[in-house]
Amino acid sequence: MSQQRIPAWINYAVIPVLNVLAAFLVSALVFIYIGVSPIDAAKVMWQGAFGYSEGWGYTLYYTTGFIFTGLAVAVAFSAQLFNIGGEGQAYLGGLGVTFVSLWFGNALPAIIMIPLVIIAAGVFGAGWAYIPAYLQAKRGSHIVITTIMFNLISNSLIGYILLQVLKPAASMASESAILPESSWIPRMHEVLSVVGIDVTPTPWNLSFVFALLCCVFVWLFLWHTRWGYEIRAYGANASASAYAGVSSVKIVLLAMILSGMLSGFFALNMISGDVHQLKLNYVAGFGFTGIAVALMGRNHPVGIVLASLLFGFLYQGGAELAFEFPGVDSKIIVVLQGLIILFSGALEYMFKPSVEKLYLSLTRSRSNNDEEAQNA
């Protein structure tokens, strides 16, 4: 089947929508099996995620985290690198935010601290991604294996630092002290109130705007710079790009450093914008879910924003679902995510041949009708 005759909107819009609809259809069967009306469940989830101001705030708060981790996976995947280490890189980003905030937060004003916090999150995340990138580029170690191992190492490292270095003397919990207020990223209800817009206080904060700026940056970098072109060329055909003079070492390091930096930015939303302290397991699987977000968003910033909004809806709507239906475990959201990952990832191309065949059939039929009309 000729791919040249298939418009891009088939691959980037129609097929992802069909994949999501298939996932929701199977989810409906799951709800029927556990004795919950899928229509009532859908209403509760929609109302909980988008039906009121607080729901919107939480949905966009979760969306922000998914944008960062989804972009991180997408940038690495543009070079055919499967970065599974977003979880660990986000942990290290949080460590950078915490160190900088505790060291300088009491001495510097917010106008200096917030840029410092952003830089620290990016540098620590990128630094953690640099090690597996170097091992792949220089030693041939597979990036999937090393990033998985680095997730485990980061978990142990953060646990040790929290218990031995950052834990306040009077605390028994595995968490740092509350960060100085100058390093806190303002929440959106505080910002919007300045311009006269009243919304319910939620953890939704200004890092949402920064996440959107990161989307613009990734789009400009990958599609409008020489380095971005080289990354995509390497990802499309590593042998051909090497023959054209593209350095594989440079591409692997560049893509992974950028990917790690974006993962590190996850800490801005969770730590600087919400809890204001480093906690054990604070990433909570967002790094892994970023893989599904990138797959579903076709590794494009616009698609990633939409996919992140869908996963934000699932998170917030799933919490409301567990609240409204006592018999439904909150882990049902994991089932829904798994189905979406299944249909958007493993079964990504299940509908593609049929959709393309239907499109070509309709196009051919319309073309024949036009010819008959002209001949008549």
Q: Which of 278, 252, 275, 288 is nearest to 92 (CA)?
A: 278
Are 57 and 330 a contacting pair, CB within 8 Å?
Answer: no
Task: Show Cβ contacts of residue 189 under 8 Å, excluding neighbours closer than 6 positions.
Answer: 57, 198, 199, 200, 201, 202, 204
pLDDT of residue 4: 54
- Interatomic CA distance for residues 339 and 20, integer angstroms: 9
- Interatomic CA distance for residues 63 and 316, integer angstroms: 10
> Tell me, which fold does domain 63-309 have in CATH?
ABC transporter involved in vitamin B12 uptake, BtuC (1.10.3470)
Dmax (CA) of the chain: 91
Q: Where are the domains of the chain?
A: 63-309
Q: What is the pLDDT of residues 241-268, one digit of tens each?
A: 888 888 999 999 999 999 999 999 999 9
pLDDT of residue 67: 96
CA dist 116 to 119, 203, 282, 299, Å?
A: 5, 21, 21, 29
Cα 84 to chain centroid, rounded = 12
CA dist 229 to 80, 218, 233, Å?
A: 13, 12, 6
pLDDT of residue 206: 95
- Interatomic CA distance for residues 323 and 225, integer angstroms: 48
Are 68 and 265 a contacting pair, CB within 8 Å?
Answer: yes
pLDDT of residue 277: 93
Q: Which two tokens stand for residue 197?
A: 């817009």
Cα 206 to chain centroid, rounded = 17
> How close are the terminal C-alpha atoms of the chain, in Å?
31
Q: Which of 252, 239, 36 is nearest to 137 (CA)?
A: 252
* Dihedral angle over CA of 81, 87, 89, 90, nearest 10: 130
- Interatomic CA distance for residues 189 and 93, integer angstroms: 25
pLDDT of residue 346: 67
Query: Which H helix or E strand runs over 198?
Result: none
Q: Which long-range contacts (CB under 8 A, 24 or more apart) does 184-192 make?
A: 184/110, 184/272, 184/273, 184/276, 185/114, 185/117, 185/268, 185/272, 185/273, 187/273, 188/57, 188/60, 189/57
Are 137 and 248 a contacting pair, CB within 8 Å?
Answer: yes
pLDDT of residue 355: 82
Residues of the chain with pLDDT under 50: 1-2
Are 239 and 80 a contacting pair, CB within 8 Å?
Answer: no
Are 172 and 237 a contacting pair, CB within 8 Å?
Answer: no
Are 86 and 72 a contacting pair, CB within 8 Å?
Answer: yes
